[in-house]
Amino acid sequence: MRVPILKQSQYVIASIQSALSDEELLQLRDDLARDVGKHRSRGVIIDVTVLDVMDSFAVRTLRAIAHMIRLRGAETVIVGIQPEVAFAMVQLGLTLEDITTALDLEEGLACLNRQGAAGARHVQ
């Protein structure tokens, strides 16, 4: 299933609905890179609340998406990482160091708004 990408004022929100295969992840990457340009968005939120497993490929792809979005002139926030997933990721050494993360969608939007208010387009 394709991940639905919603436009919300200056941001686009990719809300993952089910576990994704590697192909679907790559599809998400391409879709986001395209939609950020199409909507002239300033921020991207990727909601991973439903994922109860994140393997190294998923984490690597998310990181690649974030880097790519940055090159397209927008910021990425990953929201909704579950406690178990966070713990497993840290154990595997997958810590998404330079990527902004937030608790949930609401927090993610607040986070982007703050960055917008500061007039900053770079990662802190």
- In Å, the largest CA–CA distance within the chain is 38
Closer residue to other proteins in complex, CB, 35/107: 107
CB of 98 to other proteins, least distance (A): 11
Closer residue to other proteins in complex, CB, 41/101: 101
Residue 13, classed as helix, strand or coil, is strand
Nearest to 111, CA basis, from 44, 51, 28, 60: 44
Count of residues for the chain? Answer: 124
CB of 88 to other proteins, least distance (A): 9
CB of 118 to other proteins, least distance (A): 14
Closer residue to other proteins in complex, CB, 57/87: 87
Chain residues that interact with other proteins, rule: CB under 8 A = 79, 81-87, 89-91, 95-96, 101-104, 107-108, 111
Closer residue to other proteins in complex, CB, 3/102: 102
Interatomic CA distance for residues 123 and 41, integer angstroms: 16
Pairing of strands 43-47, 75-79: parallel
